[in-house]
Structure 1
Amino acid sequence: MQRLVLDIAERSAWTGAQAALGVAAVGVADIPVWWAAPIALMLASAKSWVAGRLVGRAGTASTLPATKDPATPPMGA
């Protein structure tokens, strides 16, 4: 259950950060607000690519360490 809560918290935090950065970017660039969604999508894709190769559990888009990632099989499994 704790792993699930951490997974939900991680996903929610990253989604909020990406949305906030998208909105901030359109404000700074003075472009229409509808661009915030594609910008957030690009940020999410970039985060997933980096997480899958450099951070967290290899082969997943999670930034959680392998010991906390719900996709990691339990010890002895």
Structure 2
Amino acid sequence: MQRLLLDLAERSAWTGAQAALGLAVTELADIPVWWAAPVALLAASAKSWVAGRLGRRGTASTLPASADPASHPAVL
């Protein structure tokens, strides 16, 4: 349960940060707010690419391997 909550918190935090970045970019660039979604998508893709190379290989998680649910599959 602890790993699930950490995973949920990580995903929520990154989603919030990417959305905020998208809105900040549209505000600073003085472009229509609908551009916030593509900017956030680009930020999410870049984060996943970087995390896949610097974090736990094979995942887009930024959690350490000890807390990443993908590192410890559930035993049935």
TM range (shorter): over 0.9
> 1:71 is paired with a residue of what secondary structure?
helix
- Which gives a bigger RCO, structure 1 or 2 (Cα 8 Å, sep 6+)? 2
Give the number of aligned pairs. 73
Gaps of 5+ in 1: none
CA RMSD of aligned residues (A): 0.9
TM-score by length of 2: 0.93
TM-score by length of 1: 0.92
Partners in 2 of 1:41 and 1:34 — Cα distance?
12
Aligned to 1:41: 41
Gaps of 5+ in 2: none
Question: Which whole-Å deviations, capped at 9, do the CAs of 1:7-60 have from their partners, x for residues lacking one?
Answer: 0000000000000000000000000000000000000000000000012x1110
